């Protein structure tokens, strides 16, 4: 009995901690205080995770590129984020004379606020969700959509051609990839029959033969997950879709004219958006906080959520170290001619899956449709490119 | 009418007024976005989750961006020398006041015509979804076809222009 009590306590540790903190206050304040405590936890946790991830990323990239990476501050460069933080706080805050001061100031603030709002509906563990909203997914995407305007505000108010070009690229890219992002998430809603993220996790928190019912382990779910991963990479402006910040072309894109703490805010927003969108991907396709095997369900649920989240971050870093940047026309063609049609087809496949009932037949039919579509579209796309042996003009 | 309602109403009205009064066109677009956000918050204040989030998703996420793009791509972001006010502003004001009067009259009358509801109806997103693909599926499909046709039309117009310039 004591072991089960221990598991439950470990699983619900943060929930109990919150109740304990709140219990010191008078009764009428408690609901408000509970929200404030949870929000404070979220606002504290993710910047810390951001600081750790910057070291992790620089170390990981260095390893991929066969060099050492940060190694001067603290043992193995672990304290590098502290140095970076102090540097960005003490740096002079430069606003260009021609800049639109009010909009220039508001842009990073609004961006960070909108990015943090998404965490309100993400279930980070059993009973660990700030607002259990009926329309949670809709709320998440509404908040995600409002980040685009702050990116534009930053680029436009700087009165710099690189900033404006970067902002236009960023907004065009984010709008283009928002369509496949939404469409790939909609399949999950179709199967679960709910927009509530807690219900989506609950639907995946089941096991047959000790294996989980995660949506990624179904044909439509796997396809949707791959499409979702592509769209999120583009949506967060990460390599290979980092055209808005392409250093060789645009200096730093929409935040070229930002320095000091405002620049740090943009940097923070980019990483927090990465955490948040990875968290949503985890919730939608990787079973949220549920354990990967039935016999491992004694491990606290929040450990699973954050492990899956950090795995996604690792994949982001890995992609950044491996793939070259796309060209603008390739980016748009890829979104509208390949990802979007596959997303639409996947909607039909998900509907088929829903109405074909249990049995092996739906596995065969759904997988066959998706594989055929992928191979066929790939072949057609490759043919129009007329790829052949590489010819060198100058370096024979 | 609660305290929150007055804050949101002030925000929305201030945004809408700024959208007409400001000199810089991009500032106007941003002020319009504030008005959109205020409307979304008003919907949420009435517990209309679906309407509120759809308002944010569509208006702040898409329409505001579209407005801003249109301004930048048509070189309209510089303020004209003779001010932004049209010369026929008096007629415009009269028409706006007339429309507002008709709307206000209709709203005030409908409150008496409708049966008085005592309890606040609880409409979940699921119910709206069921209604959209059940009872109202035909209007939904017609709107979808109309929007698709409009989009194809816009693409064709743009393509035509490109061919002519060649």
Mean of pLDDT values over A266-293:
88
- Rounded to an integer, what distance in angstroms lies between the CA atom of residue A96 and that of residue B154? 39
Identify the H or E element spanning A129. Answer: none
Q: Does some domain include residue B95?
A: no
- How many domains is chain B partitioned into structurally? 2
Q: Does some domain include residue B105?
A: no
Q: What is the pLDDT of residues A70-114, one digit of tens each?
A: 888 878 878 888 888 888 888 888 888 887 888 888 888 989 998
* Pairwise CB contact (< 8 Å): A148 & B27: no
- A148: chain B residues, CB-CB within 8 Å: 61, 65
For residue A150 the two structure tokens come to 């702050």
Q: What are the residues facing A212 on neighbouring strands?
A: A207
* Pairwise CB contact (< 8 Å): B68 & A149: yes
Name the most confidently modeled range: A147-151, A316-320, A357-361, B139-143: B139-143
Mean pLDDT of chain A: 84
Domain match, B1 and B64 both: yes
B79 touches chain A (CB under 8 A): no
* Pairwise CB contact (< 8 Å): B56 & A145: yes
Q: Does some domain include residue B128?
A: yes
Out of B17, B44, B79, a domain closes at B79
Q: Name the one residue in this structure whose structure tokens are 């971050």.
A: A313
Query: Which CATH number covers residue B26?
Result: 1.20.120.1200
* Pairwise CB contact (< 8 Å): B64 & A149: yes
Q: What is the pLDDT of residues A40-69, one digit of tens each?
A: 888 888 888 898 898 888 888 888 888 888
Q: Does some domain include residue B9?
A: yes
- pTM strictly above 0.95: no
Q: Does some domain include residue B93?
A: no
Mean of pLDDT values over A295-308:
84
Q: Does some domain include residue B18?
A: yes
Domain match, B71 and B4 both: yes
Residue to substitute from B68, B77, B128, interface A, most A β-carbons within 10 A: B68
B76 touches chain A (CB under 8 A): no
Out of B22, B51, B79, a domain closes at B79
Whether ipTM exceeds 0.85: no
- Rounded to an integer, what distance in angstroms lies between the CA atom of residue A94 and that of residue A263? 10
Q: What percent of chain A has pLDDT over 90?
A: 7
Q: What are the residues facing A208 on neighbouring strands?
A: A211
- Determine how many CB atoms are found less than 10 A away from the CB of residue A20: 9
- Rounded to an integer, what distance in angstroms lies between the CA atom of residue A185 and that of residue A183? 5
For residue B93 the two structure tokens come to 């004001």
Å between A291 CA and nearest CA of chain B: 29
For residue B77 the two structure tokens come to 């972001």
Domain match, B7 and B65 both: yes
Q: Does some domain include residue B166?
A: yes
Q: Does some domain include residue B115?
A: no
In B, residues 93-132, which contact A (CB 8 Å cutoff)? 124-126
Which domain range does residue B37 map to? 1-79
Is residue A122 within 8 Å of A276, Cβ to Cβ?
Answer: yes
Three-class secondary structure of residue A212 per DSSP? strand
Nearest CB neighbour to A145, from listed B50, B57, B124: B57
Higher per-residue pLDDT: A394 or B164: A394
């Amino acid at each position: 009995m004591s072991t089960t009590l221990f598991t439950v306590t470990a699983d619900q540790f943060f929930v109990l901690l919150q109740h304990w903190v709140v219990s010191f206050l008078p009764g009428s304040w408690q609901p408000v205080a509970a929200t404030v405590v949870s929000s404070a936890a979220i606002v504290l946790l993710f910047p810390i995770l951001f600081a750790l991830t910057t070291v992790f990323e620089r170390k990981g990239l260095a390893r991929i590129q066969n060099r050492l990476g940060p190694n001067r501050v603290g043992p193995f460069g672990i304290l590098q984020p502290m140095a970076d933080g102090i540097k960005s706080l003490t740096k002079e805050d430069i606003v260009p004379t021609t800049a639109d001061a009010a909009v220039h100031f508001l842009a990073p603030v609004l961006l960070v606020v909108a990015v943090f709002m998404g965490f309100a509906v993400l279930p980070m563990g059993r009973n660990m969700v700030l607002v259990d909203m009926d329309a949670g997914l809709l709320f998440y995407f509404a908040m995600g959509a409002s980040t685009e305007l702050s990116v534009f505000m930053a680029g436009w108010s700087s009165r710099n051609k690189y900033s404006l070009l970067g902002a236009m690229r960023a907004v065009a890219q984010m709008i283009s990839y928002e369509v496949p992002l939404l469409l790939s998430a909609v399949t999950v809603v179709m199967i679960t029959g709910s927009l509530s993220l807690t219900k989506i996790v609950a639907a995946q928190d089941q096991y047959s033969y000790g294996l989980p019912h995660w949506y990624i382990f179904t044909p439509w779910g796997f396809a949707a997950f791959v499409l979702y991963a592509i769209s999120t990479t583009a949506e967060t402006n990460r390599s290979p879709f980092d055209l808005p910040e392409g250093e060789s072309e645009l200096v730093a894109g929409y935040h070229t004219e930002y320095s000091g703490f405002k620049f740090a805010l943009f940097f923070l927003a980019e990483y927090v958006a990465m955490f948040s969108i990875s968290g949503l991907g985890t919730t939608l396709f990787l079973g949220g906080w549920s354990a990967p095997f039935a016999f491992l369900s004694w491990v606290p649920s929040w450990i699973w959520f954050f492990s899956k989240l950090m795995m996604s971050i690792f994949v982001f870093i890995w992609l950044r170290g491996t793939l070259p940047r796309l060209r603008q026309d390739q980016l748009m063609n890829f979104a509208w001619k390949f990802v979007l049609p596959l997303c639409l087809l996947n909607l039909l496949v998900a509907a088929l899956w829903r109405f074909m009932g249990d049995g092996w037949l739906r596995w065969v039919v759904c997988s066959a449709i998706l594989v055929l579509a992928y191979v066929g579209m790939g072949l057609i796309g490759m043919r129009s490119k007329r790829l052949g042996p590489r010819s060198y003009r100058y370096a024979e | 009418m609660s305290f929150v309602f007055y804050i949101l109403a002030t925000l929305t009205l201030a945004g809408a007024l700024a959208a007409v009064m400001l000199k810089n066109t991009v500032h106007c677009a941003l002020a319009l976005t504030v008005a959109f956000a205020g409307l979304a918050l008003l919907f949420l204040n009435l517990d209309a989750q679906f309407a509120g989030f759809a308002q944010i998703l569509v208006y702040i996420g898409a329409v505001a961006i579209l407005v801003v793009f249109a301004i930048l791509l048509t070189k309209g972001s510089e303020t004209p020398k003779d001010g932004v006010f049209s010369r026929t502003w008096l007629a415009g004001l009269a028409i706006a006041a007339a429309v507002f009067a008709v709307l206000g009259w209709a709203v005030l009358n409908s409150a008496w015509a409708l049966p008085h509801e005592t309890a606040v109806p609880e409409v979940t997103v699921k119910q709206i979804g069921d209604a959209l693909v059940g009872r109202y599926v035909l209007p939904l499909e017609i709107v979808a076809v109309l929007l698709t046709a409009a989009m194809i039309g816009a693409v064709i117009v743009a393509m035509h222009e490109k061919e002519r310039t060649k």
